[in-house]
Amino acid sequence: MPGEFDFISWIRTQIPSAAGVVVGPGDDCAVLAPSTRDQVVTTDTLMDGVDFKLRDCGPVAAGRKAMLVNLSDIAAMAGRPTSALVSLCLPKSWEIAVGVFEGIRQIAHDFQVAIIGGDTNSWDGPLVISITMIGEVTGRGAVLRSGARPGDWLFVTGPLGGSITGRHLNPVPRIREAIDLHDRYSLTAMIDLSDGLARDLSHIARESRCGVELITEQIPIHRDATTIPQALSDGEDFELVFAVAPEDGVRITRDRPDCFRIGQCVESGLWLIDKGQRKPLIPAGWQHTLDHPGG
Amino acid sequence: MPGEFDFISWIRTQIPSAAGVVVGPGDDCAVLAPSTRDQVVTTDTLMDGVDFKLRDCGPVAAGRKAMLVNLSDIAAMAGRPTSALVSLCLPKSWEIAVGVFEGIRQIAHDFQVAIIGGDTNSWDGPLVISITMIGEVTGRGAVLRSGARPGDWLFVTGPLGGSITGRHLNPVPRIREAIDLHDRYSLTAMIDLSDGLARDLSHIARESRCGVELITEQIPIHRDATTIPQALSDGEDFELVFAVAPEDGVRITRDRPDCFRIGQCVESGLWLIDKGQRKPLIPAGWQHTLDHPGG
């Protein structure tokens, strides 16, 4: 019966080395050369039965999704991904292990991310894939959630809603788009849409200490969805929402057919302008819940 | 019912900021200032029923162990820990969540590690704690597994065996000892003992392309164990094994009562000298297994 060390040896034959990686997988730690720019670091853990259904999608798709959602977080900072660490809780099956790793390898190859380390475990529980992704900012630094100001225009990089029908497994991390937008315009705040537009915008509003006003008619609905509530609350679109000052907003509206204006930042509150009427925008969307003794 | 965002908000009030952390938890990524030295990065995932028994040890001990084993990997490179990301798969219980985090917070405080990000999930499965730890090397760089040469002496930083009786939950990461040893002597290879002395030494031998010879009578047996096979094969001692040239070996034997000479590096093979007789050393010890169609 092969064990984790056979698997790790196999992984090491599959992973290309990369600039800046002094020591890759196979020691107690990876060693990275000093960086000249700020680094961005994120971690996302995906669980069978919650973030994917292994029986339906198979291990390759699960491995791909785990990489893609981490890349989306790097995109949300306008970062360039460089390396990743992969921790696995594997059902005791070599085929699942190889499939998950094949999915990870595909995306690592597509986005030129070096797999620099990980932890391979087996157990009787469901598949868990935990990835930590490291990147670096471009010359203009990271785009945070906290810089939006009242009057800024809000844009989204694609149509929203209905990802649960399948698209959630294979999102397109907007790495290239984010770096390009950040280079051409002054992005004041950005976030990737994982929990649903309304909820994720509430994060921008809170961190930027401002309000947000969406215009129903301007929200692009994906063909996988049919209604505005879906576009507002369905999770895992993995598009980017960003804010810019009005002068940049005018340029983007004119020059970027891939970006949709959906509203603006205001002094306070979360609002939806629907057929000319201002209504409260409920930050509904996905979140994990914890049973509380008093709750 | 409180959700992940309540929990994350609470975490943010508990975590001190640290030098070099430009943006901590609460954005899509953490942002770290450029480093002047090589960075070391590791990840270790602990699972209820495999690495701890939640019902027996409680969530605080589980959180502590998850941090401590990652710190031990940083120690094995002679690194200084700086920051960590914490991914949790939580049973739907606020008390477990708070307990796990309390354990993590205790160790982060003791070792001055900044928690810079994470991913908090709930599910119906067992508790999983996945931590990625980042550190930096000292002026002498990282100690790898690959630099040992035939003739080098092998030392261990403490007695071995029997950690399963309880010590495995609360190991002492040898951060301080490793940095001090690395500063005073030329460590040619080092590893932390997670899978058992014989197996972990086989990693040093493979990476250093040499052999290893242990001397039975010199292996320090922990009071939690009684036999040499336990000291050779029990896992999770989290002591360090390191190699040095003989001249440093003489100095360490003379000056460091906390380090035990256990053998030496040879040209090839894994050997045990037992009552003057040379026997093969079997690299037994813990590893995760994967069922293979042909295996």
Range A212-240 average pLDDT: 94
From the number of C-beta atoms within 10 Å of its C-beta (0-12, 13-18, 19+), residue A253 rates as middle
* Residue of chain B minimizing CA distance to A190: B28
- Across chain A, what does the average pLDDT equal? 92
Q: Which residues of B touch A293 (CB under 8 A)?
A: 94-95
Pairing mode of beta strands A114-123, A79-91 = parallel
Check whether B291 has a pLDDT greater than 50. Answer: yes
Sign of the dihedral defined by the CA atoms of residues B226, B227, B233, B238, in that order: positive
Q: What is the 3-state secondary structure of chain A?
A: CCEHHHHHHHHHHHCCCCCCEEECECECCEEECCCCCCEEEEEEEEEECCCECHHHHHHHHHHHHHHHHHHHHHHHCCEEEEEEEEEEEEECCHHHHHHHHHHHHHHHHHCCCEEEEEEEEEECCCCEEEEEEEEEECCCCCCCCCCCCCCCEEEECCCECCHHHCHHHCCCCCHHHHHHHHHHCCEEEEEECCCCHHHHHHHHHHHHCCEEEEEHHHCCECCCCCCHHHHHHCCCCCCEEEEECHHHHHHHHHHCCCCEEEEEEECCCEEEEECCEEEECCCCCCCCECCCCCC
Q: Considering only the beta carbons, identify the residue of B27, B122, B289 that sits closest to A1.
A: B289
Cβ separation A121–B39 shorter than 8 A: no
Q: What pLDDT is recorded for position A2?
A: 61
Cβ separation A135–B293 shorter than 8 A: no
- B273: closest CA of chain A, how far (Å): 26
Q: What pLDDT is recorded for position B19?
A: 79
What confidence tier does A243 reach under pLDDT thresholds 50, 70, 90? very high
What confidence tier does B294 reach under pLDDT thresholds 50, 70, 90? very low
From the number of C-beta atoms within 10 Å of its C-beta (0-12, 13-18, 19+), residue A204 rates as buried
- A45: closest CA of chain B, how far (Å): 6
Cβ separation B40–A29 shorter than 8 A: yes
The 3-state DSSP class for residue B121 equals strand
Q: Which residues of B touch A120 (CB under 8 A)?
A: 288
**Tokens 């990065």 sit on residue:** B41
Taking only the tens place, the pLDDT of each residue in A125-167 is: 999 999 999 999 999 999 999 999 999 999 999 999 999 999 9
On whether the pTM is more than 0.90, the answer is yes
Residues 174-193 of A with CB under 8 A from B: 190-192
Taking only the tens place, the pLDDT of each residue in A278-289 is: 999 998 776 666
Cβ separation A42–B34 shorter than 8 A: no
Interface residue A121 vs chain B (CB under 8 A):
yes
Q: Which residues of B touch A145 (CB under 8 A)?
A: 26-28
Residues 252-271 of A with CB under 8 A from B: none
Residue of A4, A8, A29 for testing the chain B interface, max B β-carbons within 10 Å: A29
Cβ separation A142–B39 shorter than 8 A: no
Taking only the tens place, the pLDDT of each residue in B57-88 is: 999 999 999 999 999 999 999 999 999 999 99
Cβ separation A89–B31 shorter than 8 A: no
Check whether B124 has a pLDDT greater than 90. Answer: yes
| Residue of B232, B145, B148 lying closest to B195 (CA atoms) | B232
% of chain A with per-residue pLDDT over 90: 85
* Residue of chain A minimizing CA distance to B133: A29
- B219: closest CA of chain A, how far (Å): 23
Amino acid at residue number B256? R
Interface residue B28 vs chain A (CB under 8 A):
yes
Task: Enumerate residues 6+ apart whose C-beta is below 8 A from B260.
Answer: B155, B156, B157, B158, B159, B218, B219, B220
* Separation between Cα atoms, residue B24 and residue B257, nearest integer Å: 41
Check whether B95 has a pLDDT greater than 50. Answer: yes
Q: What pLDDT is recorded for position B295?
A: 37
Residue of A12, A41, A50, A85 for testing the chain B interface, max B β-carbons within 10 Å: A41
Taking only the tens place, the pLDDT of each residue in B261-290 is: 999 999 999 999 999 999 999 987 766 666
Check whether A294 has a pLDDT greater than 70. Answer: no
% of chain B with per-residue pLDDT over 70: 91
| Residue of B174, B189, B184 lying closest to B252 (CA atoms) | B184
> Higher-confidence residue: B115 or B13?
B115
Interface residue A19 vs chain B (CB under 8 A):
no
* Separation between Cα atoms, residue B259 and residue B174, nearest integer Å: 12
Q: Which residues of A touch B50 (CB under 8 A)?
A: 121, 123
* Separation between Cα atoms, residue A227 and residue B62, nearest integer Å: 44
Q: What pLDDT is recorded for position A18?
A: 76
Interface residue A54 vs chain B (CB under 8 A):
no
Taking only the tens place, the pLDDT of each residue in B149-204 is: 999 999 999 999 999 999 999 999 999 999 999 999 999 999 999 999 999 999 99
Interface residue B205 vs chain A (CB under 8 A):
no
Interface residue B286 vs chain A (CB under 8 A):
no
